[in-house]
Structure 1
Amino acid sequence: MSAPAKSFKPIPPERGSFPLDHWGECTKEMNQYLKCIKITKGVNAENCKLLSKKYLKCRMDNELMEKDYDWKKLGLPEDKQPEKKK
């Protein structure tokens, strides 16, 4: 007789797990980013990071992932703040 199976309770990752884009709301942005990565041979160059940011913003705006516009925390460049006129 075998031992009873231990129960396993999965813990979701802190980041990286989010609903699929079933309606294709961010497909254009995703394809632009993937094309950039292919052109740069897998190097996440600065222009690719901007496309990644655009893709993640689309997902956040369409409630496909948790909103977190702290781009630095996501490893992406911050939005440029408009210069204040003196």
Structure 2
Amino acid sequence: MSGNPGSSLSALRPTPPERGSFPLDHDGECTKYMQEYLKCMQLVQNENAMNCRLLAKDYLRCRMDHQLMDYDEWAHLGLPEDAPSNSGKTSSGTSSGTSSGTSSGTSDNK
């Protein structure tokens, strides 16, 4: 029977996680975010709802901020970037900067 495929010890070798270790939150620093996410998933019956994805993002951000995981780009984690909301603010700031630049150009002509 020792010749059976699958009985080798190499089949039992554990594989490390893709992103390294995932330390436990012993101090409960991100428990609130985790519980909100789990409640959301329960409400939507484990469907991939955007509001739950945003809660997952908050949870992962908390873990990153408390050094419970390495910082990574949201796209690598399958989550939306923060840039769209920030770029909207930047564009309006840029346009007002452009218009004031135009006003300065007009005052230079006077």
Q: TM-score, normalised by structure 1?
A: 0.81
Unaligned runs of 5+ in 2: 1-8, 96-110
The residue type paired with residue 50 of structure 1 is L
- Whether 1:78 aligns to 2:81 is yes
Higher helix share: 2
Instruction: For residues 57-83 of structure 1, give each alpha carbon's deviation from its aligned partner in whole angstroms, at most 9, with x where no partner exists.
Output: 000100101111x11110001112332
The structure that has the greater radius of gyration is: 2
Percentage identity across paired residues of the two chains: 57
Highest relative contact order (Cα 8 Å, sep 6+), 1 or 2? 1
Q: Which residue of 2 aligns with 1:21?
A: 25
- Whether 1:67 aligns to 2:71 is yes
Unaligned runs of 5+ in 1: 1-5
Matched position secondary structure for 1:14? coil
Q: Distance in 2 between matches of 1:10 and 1:35?
A: 32
Matched position secondary structure for 1:78? coil
Offset, 1:53: 0.3
Deviant stretches of 4+, over 3 Å = 6-11
Residue among 29, 36, 42 paired with 1:38: 42
Q: RMSD value over aligned CA atoms? A: 2.2
Q: Distance in 2 between matches of 1:41 and 1:17?
A: 29
Q: How many residues align?
A: 82
Q: Please, which moves more after superposition, 73-82 or 31-40? A: 73-82
